[in-house]
Amino acid sequence: MNSAYLLIGGNIGNRLDNLVKAGDLIEAVCGSILQQSSVYETAAWGNTNQPSFFNQALHIHSFHSPEELIARTLNIELEMGRERNEMMGPRTIDIDILFYNQIVLETKLITIPHPRLHLRNFVLIPLNEIAAGYVHPVFKKTIQELLNECPDPLDVHKISSTN
């Protein structure tokens, strides 16, 4: 059994419903969800001329390899209407693999750990809620330490709790 941390998010349509649907589809085709963070809202990062995003971190157990897992998450994005028209553009759903066990992997399709997670509050804050002590396999720092050092100035606001 493999342990993976994912970040799901989107800013088109009913953002909360899209997170719930993505979670259901992840559980159906990727693996069981062990933990999920609260839902957080953040202004768009990078391409800022678009609606704000809802994001949530998930911890899953999966029998799939990293390549199989990314293929399945990309299919979920397509099924939910994701269109890749512009870099960092608006989207119904985005599913990123942040960590997969403690591996370091770089292929044409995927880089694990996610190469920019340590630069983004909207990733670190929800991830810290469910995995504060998880040690990044490259930086050898916990998620809490990475969050404390994060240079991202964007505010992240909790929308709903997991309870």
Active site residue 94: yes
DSSP the chain: -EEEEEEEEE-SS-HHHHHHHHHHHHHHHT-EEEEEPPEEEE--SSS-SSPPEEEEEEEEEESS-HHHHHHHHHHHHHHTT----STT---S-EEEEEEETT--EE-SS-EES-TTGGG-HHHHHHHHHHHTTPBPTTT--BHHHHHHH------EEEEE---
Considering the candidates 15, 72, 94, 120, report the single residue annotated as catalytic: 94
Considering the candidates 72, 96, 116, 155, report the single residue annotated as catalytic: 96
Active site residue 91: yes
Considering the candidates 15, 72, 91, 120, report the single residue annotated as catalytic: 91
Residue 143, token pair as written in the block = 């998620």
Considering the candidates 82, 84, 152, 155, report the single residue annotated as catalytic: 82
Active site residue 116: no
Active site residue 82: yes
Residue 113, token pair as written in the block = 């750990």
Provide the annotated active-site residues.
82, 91, 94, 96
